[in-house]
Copies of this chain bind each other. A is one copy, B any other.
């Protein structure tokens, strides 16, 4: 016995009215005798009637509920634990959620290990994260698109001023009297390079050389790298980490080496995530929430120019 889903005709029949009347009763209810309206609604309830969104959409010409505007956040990240491990994504969601509040636009989330090859059912708007330039440009051709972080030329983007942030970190360390400075930079990505360049340029300007190595934005690697740095240069009095998660590894390496923070060694991270606050870590604050929010606003109204570069700010906490 298939228990086929009740349709409007069923409700109408059981209630003893026409489909037109049933439709009116269930929707507006205007111009329907109160008792009829009640009866129809009771029957609908009893039969578990659920209006067929597609049919309704076709009849009304309005978009069906299921067709309602969607904004997709498409994240390319090979780490399936990315949402757990990287505070960045949570912050993006905060910003996106805020900008979408009260907009009746659905937020769709997609985490893929590599750029998808097919793209059926393109959403109204799309935010690209970590998308390589080529597929990025293709997405941009297909519909409203904005990248978080610089993407292909011509693809609108919003990103933090990484270079300026690196500069700020260096200025902070130098002006607080640090002279033997180490750094755990990030991997070979545009944003990590910018942070590094900003940091090194300032340091060079101050006539200081930096004992540095590259990490991969993870705590474990940063921990190992920091240990090496301390071996190479035991008298470091400051370490810059290219992200807060890395900074946590640096802090642990220092703890284990018996170096006090900030007395012996100052540590500055980059991101300004909740992690930095929780760990009392000085950090270059990236306005990720604001980036995401303005990305959404750009998608909703492309007349608004994408803000491109957003300034970073130094937040001084107990680690420096």
Tell me the minimal C-beta distance from A293 to chain B in angstroms: 11
A23 within 8 A of B: no
Residues of B within 8 A of A122 (CB): 50
Residues of B within 8 A of A278 (CB): 219, 245, 248, 275, 279
B82 touches A94 (CB 8 A): yes
Determine the distance from Cα of A280 to Cα of B83 in the docked complex, in whole angstroms.
Answer: 20
A273 touches B84 (CB 8 A): yes
A76 within 8 A of B: no
Binds B, one of A6-14, A52-60, A176-184, A193-201: A52-60
A87 within 8 A of B: yes
With A219-B278, A248-B279, A275-B278 already in contact, the answer to whether A120 and B90 are too (CB < 8 A) is no
Q: How large is the interface on A (under 10, 10 to 19, 20 to 34, 35 or more residues)?
A: 35 or more
A274 touches B121 (CB 8 A): no
Which of A58, A91, A273 is most buried by chain B, counting CB atoms within 10 A of its CB?
A58
Residues of B within 8 A of A219 (CB): 277-278
Q: Which residue of B lies closest to A249 (CB)?
A: B278
Interface contacts beyond A53-B67, A54-B67, A275-B275: sample of 17 additional A-B pairs, CB < 8 Å, sorted by A: A54-B64, A58-B58, A63-B66, A64-B64, A64-B66, A80-B98, A83-B97, A85-B274, A87-B90, A87-B274, A90-B90, A106-B110, A219-B278, A252-B280, A255-B280, A255-B318, A275-B278
A-B contact pairs, 27 of them (CB 8 A): A53-B121, A54-B54, A54-B64, A64-B64, A66-B66, A67-B67, A80-B94, A80-B98, A80-B101, A83-B90, A83-B91, A83-B94, A83-B97, A84-B91, A86-B90, A87-B87, A107-B108, A107-B109, A107-B110, A108-B108, A219-B277, A245-B274, A248-B279, A252-B280, A275-B275, A275-B278, A279-B279
